[in-house]
Structure 1
């Protein structure tokens, strides 16, 4: 129970910091730029009367490039939101008030880690889901193995977080 409370407090603390909102702004900006670029590229490919198979290959390459950017944003947000989690509390002595309670140190570390994992999962779901939605709405093509790809992005974020 203590671990979940610390995870919830970690999420609330991260929401108060500007870096989370800056990351969400970057994600929305990227999705907008990707959508506009995809729109004009698909319109150009339609103008030259490209067949469906080649259109799917060309737009698939654009989706791959978009997923690389999504992966980069996920790694950056993971690093920037968690970099000063415990060390910042040690420097400001706020961890001293937490550790005077009957809370073990591993519970604090695990609670903070779980809080950042929750934020990571939400960020991956919003960013990769938004990218797939923009791609589907403009091209009409569906992508297989979306869950496996998103899981790999989460695992990369977990590797950086740990």
Structure 2
């Protein structure tokens, strides 16, 4: 694969990433016209091949848009997103100097991407199963002791 095809693939996937995509989201060429105009000619020329390769790799489908594999490419797989979300929750509790009974400030996560929000749900379930958070998503005594 040429370096220009790889640059074109990175450009396409980075363009998707800026949109905080979900599975099935399509990229609209009109939105890319200005960024494409700033690409070097060899990278522009490689765009059709890059799209073809992204489709062959299962990251993107012309009819269906971004695939689950494409979302994982942009955000990491669910396990890594869940670990990131778990760390973010615990750091937020630590930063707010949470005590037993405190809950994370979920409003801080409102602008997160849909895949990250799904990871937050998985992270909360993990923390609850470990006894760090209770059923109401509040910090438990065990969570308090492990947090500090």
Question: Normalised by the size of structure 1, how large is the TM-score?
Answer: 0.33
Q: With a CA cutoff of 8 Å and minimum separation of 6, indicate the structure with the bigger relative contact order.
A: 1
Structure holding more helix per residue:
1
